[in-house]
Amino acid sequence: MSDDETVEPDVAREAAGARPDAARAALVADLRADGATGPEIEAAIGASRLALLPVQRVLRGTPTLRTADLASRTGADPELLERVLQAAGVAIPEHADPAWEERDLALPRMVHALVRAGVAEQAVVELARTLGESAARIGSAAIIELGSGLTREGDTEHDLARRLAEATRPVNDHLAETIGLLVRTHSLDQLTAVELDDEQIADGRIAGATPVSIGFADVVGFTRMGEQLGAQRLRDVAARLGELGAEVSTGGVRVVKTIGDAVMLAGQRPGPVVASMLALQERVAAEDFPRIRAGVATGDAVPRAADWFGPPVNRAARVCAAARPESVLVDDATRTLVEDDGLTWSTIGRIHLKGMGRVRLHRVRRTDED
């Protein structure tokens, strides 16, 4: 008797257990017809993930390649490929069974091509680490956003499983190309922030500290709000702030990231960043949205993995924290570089910022607000 046959009665008994009998039995039947084994189904039931097993099977595909095949088929160095997979947070199967599909050859092909082009191995590993971190966030967002949007009141396991699997197929088929499109677009955008002169070329440097203006905006009283509104409403507020930030970002300004109840913008010129923050305040005031405060700082920072690191990032966050609700504050460096056209300024003096001492800050408004 095969393994499948020995566990089949357990699966059948579980299907007829406390959960809706017909729905679970139908889901088990669908899984069996799709090639799922008895142990696979039984393990999913034991882990309370039976409704997710069809999604796992769609994403897993039909592996035909072993890890060793990834290197032998593409010419990638096996040790480097292992380092790349580990840096990207991808578990390397310990067994010798097939674990990869033909399309998975794209990663080792890229690794091999980059090394042949002269890219240092450590740079390839760091790129893999960044891609892995981004992919983990994308995967988490896909599960949460798509999953929460597909649940229906009164669903059975079978209903939800079928709906989730159907939504997973287009993601599985087109996500790689979609991410490629977004990476290319953002790479082109990032290139506008890179200055490459003869001295940098001669020194072997490309990316370094570069002038940038950073804007932060956060929701006033977000923590207290959570006690009244609940987790889902807080999540909606944070997501909407990110959307509004993207909508008002113009003139080379872009949303870098959202962090809880805050959104971070960046631009090479301080004027458009200040304008975007003022526009964000106006958009928030025009709809049913909690009050926000905003701060802008300018200085040299280092771009990495579509993010910025350096003094103006920390200073902008502190300036934001010092702002009153519905206001935009900026530091001295920003004020000096922004023209007065259409804006009214008021110096509020030197304000103590945590970890930075006393810093001169300025409030900015549109002239038509006065």
Q: Which of 3-17, 132-146, 348-362 has the highest mean pLDDT?
A: 348-362
Domain boundary among 160, 191, 222: 191
Same domain, 162 and 234: no
d(CA 270, CA 273): 5
d(CA 286, CA 279): 11
- Is 54 part of any domain? no
Same domain, 99 and 43: no
Give the pair of three-digit tokens for residue 126.
């760091």
Give the pLDDT confidence score for residue 191 in this predicted structure.
72
Nearest to 54 by CA among 79, 27, 76: 27
pLDDT digits 0-9 by tens, 64-109: 999 999 999 999 999 999 999 998 999 888 778 899 999 999 999 9
What burial letters (b/e) apply to 89-116, b meaning 16+ CB within 10 Å?
A: eeeeeeeeeebbeeebbebbebbbebbe
pLDDT digits 0-9 by tens, 232-291: 777 788 888 999 999 999 888 999 998 878 999 999 999 999 999 999 999 999 988 889
Give the pLDDT confidence score for residue 102 in this predicted structure.
95
Residue with tokens 């350096």: 310
- Is 201 part of any domain? no
- Is 325 part of any domain? yes
- List helix spans (H) across the chain: 3-15, 21-33, 38-46, 53-60, 67-74, 78-87, 106-116, 121-141, 147-150, 157-191, 198-203, 222-229, 231-248, 270-285, 311-322, 332-337
Same domain, 243 and 318: yes
Greater model confidence, 197 or 351 = 351
Same domain, 218 and 353: yes
- Is 202 part of any domain? no
Greater model confidence, 200 or 2 = 200
Compute CA 235 distance to the chain's CA centroid, rounded to the nearest angstrom. 15
Beta bridge partner(s), residue 331: 361
Residue 205, pLDDT > 60, answer: no
Same domain, 226 and 351: yes
Domain boundary among 191, 226, 258: 191
Reported as a pLDDT band with limits 50, 70 and 90, residue 148 is confident
d(CA 95, CA 99): 9
Same domain, 43 and 78: no
CATH number at residue 240: 3.30.70.1230
CATH number at residue 159: 1.10.1660
Reported as a pLDDT band with limits 50, 70 and 90, residue 206 is low
Q: Give me the mean pLDDT over the 209-223 stretch.
A: 86
Q: Which domain holds residue 88?
A: 67-191
- Is 60 part of any domain? no
Give the pLDDT confidence score for residue 13 in this predicted structure.
45
Number of domains in the chain: 3
Same domain, 44 and 71: no
Same domain, 267 and 222: yes
Same domain, 244 and 350: yes
d(CA 133, CA 121): 19
- Is 62 part of any domain? no
- Is 55 part of any domain? no
Same domain, 279 and 325: yes
Helix (H, G, I), strand (E, B) or coil at 204: coil
What's phi and psi for 127, nearest 5 deg? -60, -45
Same domain, 232 and 132: no
Give the pLDDT confidence score for residue 365 in this predicted structure.
94
Q: Give burial (CB, 10 Å; 0-12/13-18/19+) of 148.
A: exposed
Give the pair of three-digit tokens for residue 334.
């920003």
Same domain, 270 and 173: no
Domain boundary among 159, 191, 223: 191
* pTM listed for this prediction: 0.61
- Is 117 part of any domain? yes
pLDDT digits 0-9 by tens, 1-51: 344 444 444 444 444 444 557 899 999 999 999 999 999 999 999 999 999
